[in-house]
Structure 1
Amino acid sequence: MLKALPILPIYQAASAALAPLSPVVLYVRRKWRRDEPDRDGERLGRPTQPRPEGPLAWLHGASVGESLALLPLVERLSARGFTILVSTGTSSAAAVIAPRLPAGALHQFLPLDVPQFLTRFLAYWRPNLALIAESEIWPNLFLAVRRHNIPLLLVNARISEASFQRWRWLPGFIGTLLGAVDLCLAQSEVDAERFALLGARHVKIAGNLKYDVSAPPADRQALAALAVRIGARPVWVAASTHRGEEEIILAAHQIAAQSVPGLLTIIVPRHAKRGGEIAGLAHARGLAVAQRSTEVSENGALPEIYVADTTGELGLFYRVAGIAFLGKSLLPATNGGQNPVEPAKLGCAILHGPHVANFGEVYQVLDEARGAVTVADADTMARVVAILLADAGKSRLMARAASETVKELGGACERIMSAIEPHLAQLSFESRQWQH
């Protein structure tokens, strides 16, 4: 273990010294389309919106999944009278979360982990409460929140075995950071034990907030228009796919289409910018394909492959397809899986690959309840899709099992609100004292 080196002071000094290079970092992020050019200032702690008067709760989720999981807490805290500030780490998360925030809630990008940027951010927004989702452990962020005497809560907290083992090599470093956390609300018993061993002082098990997230919305007009274009055709959706998986999905389509006339396969890539690449793969196989992002008109019949390379429309496609394959699960290189709760809540029978380590618990429960099934290759995928499309009764039973299973797994939001009630009561008391 690296006990002798003063790693935390070194990290703080280095990050502060590298602040002048921030424009280069932001330029690279823009090139990778991870940031919006007109919001670079937010990455430097410069706000782009005014801070409302009154108590403010700040919630941070790095990417799409983490930020969406915070929505139940956002709604509950908003109902308690807090102005809500949600920060994210990626532009894709911002595009998905912003339209789903309640009236009056604000979104900003999280500043880079540089002391002066975070000090600027916190001094402006003056949050009364900070809730950080899952495994976002940024050293300067945690220490800045502590210096500003803001209650810091880890919610929906999780830590993988690999991350746990890496942190164990830096016990003083991680111990100091977790010592700044007032309350750690872990997803599972295993997560709770790992956080406690690494130095978190107050740890409780609250469950997974992702089971409490409402089903993703869909624009009514867009839904009606898409339903007309599909008509009575058999349809399934491959959602949140990653590079390497689309080839397997396209092969499965070709196999299944031999026994399912008129089959429509909708592919929704995890990264919308890959739409052209996926369309090219379909063309190479001789398949008729269209990209949603480049359509001149949203009328007319759809080809056999429809690449839905847009952001924030998964709710639309889950609603028109009763069968959903969840990506990032077919190949070892993309190991992790995607959250199956949303399609389950929208009545989809769920297919997934064998590599779902990030959501292993929920997939295991769904598989056991026969609400989901593992497909490891194109032949298996094609066979399962064909069977479910041919037997509507089997598909409905599978979808119902998935829906009921995720409903039973819910309740984390209630447990978290109960656990943080002492902090909310203290803030309410301090607010009354200040007013008098």
Structure 2
Amino acid sequence: MLRALYRALWWIVAPLAVLRLFIRSRRERGYREHIGERFGHTAGRPRDDLAPLIWVHAVSVGETRAAEPLVEALLRARPDARLLVTHMTPSGRATGERLFGSRVARCYLPYDMPHTVRRFLRAWRPTLGIVMETEVWPTLLDECRRADVPLVLANARMSARSYRRAARFGGATREVFGGFSRVLAQSPADAQRLTALGARHVAVLGNLKFDMATPPDLVARGRAWRAAIGTRPVWVAASTREGEEGLILDALAAQATKDALLILVPRHPQRFDEVAALVERRGVRLARRSQWGGEAKPAAAPGPADMAPLPADVTVLLGDSMGELGAYYAAADVAFIGGSLLPLGGQNLIEACAVGVPVLIGPHVFNFAQATADAVAAGAAQQVSDSADLARVLDELFSDRGRRITMGAAASAFAARHRGTTERTVEVLRALMEA
């Protein structure tokens, strides 16, 4: 009954979803492109192409970046296969294009309706499907099972909050989660919840995000920016969400360290102008990354001295660029991870740890609870309760260089200690394809 109701609702939701795409396209034009793909209309691959096709679904930017080490490993492990990467957002698609270029095919995953999913599967004929983290679509699972396409939930996580919501649907939930051929969980707690929801063949392999390497050129770029900024304290607020920037600006105003520079990096690019306007309304001098800085120079070329110094009266540098988060971390003395001051679940702190920067994170981390708890236990991160507490801890860290060095070293060691999930995941996928 629930399954029939779910499918019926999609006939109502689909036209509204298209309308929403056009509304969102006023801020991010990519939403009005490739709309046919959202209904399964895609060129697919030629009928005479008999190579195995591995399909990876990564909904948006975070999942696409988390999938990067896995996609690269699959390209190396199966040079005989083609790879398809699907997304749901234009920013995720753009990230995939930047990371993988023409080495993979790409399109949007269709809406979760039987005829659209069948059309997609007929066009691409995947040998194996891999969906990342929390992407559970009932009709997609049904149609993959009908088409004899094994579907794997990789880097799987299930927060306590999401578990309670899913468990309300009882047998229907168990039927859905039981449709995965394999579930590769990030942690024992995730595995326990997923098993309770009906998932079979569950294994704990760790978090793929630990295998995300920050490119050396990004680190060099961030170091060059730091030299051009000067000696004043620098902190980055990364992946901030709507409603959080005001709290972060409150923390900036409350700091005793009045010469500190805040690098403010909103998670969603369509909000760059909105956040810039918010900063300016506060009467704070703002500079935008898109209008300042540059690429790191080769060793033999002129160094950062030929970059324009950031004016000393600039208090906020807006990170209005894509693909440079590692550089922002490398330019900072301390990193605050957004999505955590409000009950939004937090964001990934692993990349900041890998760069070796001390990490602060708010109280709301239910989407990244295990990684946060492990980082705090390792001395790599510290949780703050609110914006006032954030200001207080920032002042403490800025006045204690030894503590910053200790936390940064612990962060690097923490990230290194948990690597290896990609290799374990590829072994499971290889066995599944050869079975």
TM-score range, shorter chain: 0.7 to 0.9
1:66 maps to 63
Q: What CA deviation, in whole Å up to 9, does each residue of 1:156-182 have, x standing for no partner?
A: 122233333333333332233233221
| 1:307 and 2:318 correspond | yes
Within the candidate set 361, 371, 375, 1:366 is matched to 375
Distance 1:8 1:236, change over 3 A: same
**1:216 offset after TM fit, Å?**
5.8
SS in 2 for 1:342: helix
> Kindly tell me: are residues 370 and 192 of structure 1, through their superposed partners in 2, closer, same or farther at Cα, counting changes over 3 Å?
closer
1:18: Cα distance to partner? 6.5
State the Cα distance separating 1:408 from its structure 2 match.
1.5
Taking the aligned partners of 1:220 and 1:330, their CA distance within structure 2 comes to 27
Question: Who is 1:192 aligned against?
Answer: 191
Q: Is the 8 A contact 1:275 1:291 kept in 2?
A: no
Mapped partners of 2:135, 2:33: distance in 1? 25
Residue 127 of structure 1 corresponds to 126
Aligned-residue offset at 1:358 = 1.5
Map of 1:430 onto structure 2:
none
Aligned AA for 2:88?
Answer: G
Asked whether the equivalents of residues 155 and 186 of structure 2 are also in contact (C-alpha less than 8 Å), the reply is: yes
Aligned residue for 1:432?
none
User: CA shift at 1:123, angstroms?
Assistant: 0.9
Residue in structure 2 matched with residue 278 of structure 1 by the alignment: 275
Task: Give how far 1:241 is off.
Answer: 1.2
Measured in 2, the distance between the counterparts of 1:255 and 1:17 equals 48
Deviation at 1:71, TM superposition (A): 1.8
Letter in 2 for 1:203: V
- The equivalent of 1:210 in structure 2 is 209
The 3-state SS of whatever aligns with 1:36 is helix
CA distance in 2, matches of 1:282, 1:125: 46
Distance in 2 (CA, whole Å) between partners of 1:11 and 1:210 is 33
Contact 2:44 2:123 in 1 (8 A): no
Alpha-carbon distance, 1:400 to partner:
0.9
8 Å Cα contact 1:371/1:398 also seen in 2: yes
Cα 1:21/1:393, change in 2 over 3 Å: closer
| Greater Cα shift, 365-374 or 165-174 | 165-174
**Which of 32, 37, 40 is matched with 1:42 structurally?**
37
Given the alignment of the two structures, is residue 238 of structure 1 paired with residue 247 of structure 2, yes or no? Answer: no
Q: Pick one of 7, 20, 30 that aligns with 2:25.
A: 30
Pair 349,188 (structure 1): closer, same or farther in 2 beyond 3 Å: same
C-alpha distance 53-115 of structure 1, shift in aligned 2 (>3 A): same
Q: CA deviation at 1:425?
A: 2.2
Cα displacement (A) at 1:312? 2.2
Partner residue in 2 for 1:8: 3
Identify unmatched segments of 5+ residues in structure 1. Answer: 1-5, 427-436
The answer (yes or no) to whether the contact 2:341–2:386 under 8 Å persists in 1 is: yes
Which residue type is aligned with residue 380 of structure 2?
Answer: G
* Corresponding position of 1:413: 422
Residue 298 (structure 2) aligns with: none
* Counterpart Cα distance in 1 of 2:379 and 2:351: 17
Shift of 1:371: 1.2
Matched with 1:434 is: none
Contact 2:178 2:200 in 1 (8 A): yes
1:334-345 aligned within 5 A: 334=344, 336-345=345-354
Label 1:221 to 1:111 Cα distance change in 2 as closer, same or farther (>3 A): same
Per-residue CA distance 1:246-294 (angstroms, 9 max, x = gap) = 22322332343x5453x2211001122323333333333332112335x
Q: For the residues of structure 2 that align with 1:28 and 1:284, how far apart are their CA atoms? A: 26
Name the CA distance, whole Å, in 2 between partners of 1:49 and 1:300: 49
Q: Identify if the C-alpha distance between structure 1 residues 137 and 32 changes in structure 2 by more than 3 Å, giving closer, same or farther.
A: farther
Which secondary structure does the structure 2 equivalent of 1:281 belong to? helix
Q: Which residue of 2 aligns with 1:386?
A: 395
> In the alignment, is residue 265 of structure 1 matched against residue 262 of structure 2?
yes
Quick one: which amino acid aligns to residue 355 of structure 1?
A: H
Q: Let me know the Cα RMSD of the aligned residues.
A: 2.8
**Deviations 1:375-430 (CA, angstroms, capped at 9, x unpaired):** 2334432333233334433212111101111221233223222333321323xxxx
Q: What's the CA shift for 1:296?
A: 8.3
Counterparts of residues 34-183 of structure 1 (less than 5 Å): 35-47=30-42, 54-79=51-76, 80-81=78-79, 82-101=81-100, 104-183=103-182
For structure 2, the 5+ residue unaligned runs are: 295-307
SS in 2 for 1:119: helix
- CA–CA separation in structure 2 for the residues paired with 1:244 and 1:9: 37
Cα shift at 1:350: 0.5
Q: Deviations over 1:344-396 (max 9, x none)?
A: 11111111112212112222222222211122334432333233334433212
1:39–1:48 contact (8 Å) kept in structure 2: no
In the alignment, residue 264 of structure 1 is paired with which amino acid?
L
Contact 2:183 2:199 in 1 (8 A): yes
Alpha-carbon deviations, 1:37-69, whole Å to 9, x = none? 222122121226756762211011223222222
Deviations 1:204-259 (A, max 9, x none): 22222222222267558965763454133332111111233222322332343x54
CA shift in 2, pair 1:421/1:275, >3 Å: closer
Of residues 374, 388, 411, the one that matches 1:402 is 411
The residue that corresponds to 1:3 in the other structure is none
State whether structure 2 residue 364 is matched by structure 1 residue 352. Answer: no
Tell me: CA distance 1:409–1:169, structure 2 relative to 1, closer, same or farther (3 Å). Answer: same
State the percentage of identical aligned residues.
38
User: 1:94/1:289 Cα in 2 relative to 1: closer, same or farther (>3 Å)?
Assistant: same
Give, in angstroms, the shift of residue 125 of structure 1: 1.1
Structure 1 pair 173–125 and aligned structure 2 pair: CA distance change class (3 A): same
* Residues 145-154 or 41-50, more deviating: 41-50
Deviates more, 1:368-377 or 1:14-23: 14-23
Provide the TM-score with structure 2 as the length reference: 0.86
What is the identity, as a one-letter code, of the residue corresponding to 1:170? F
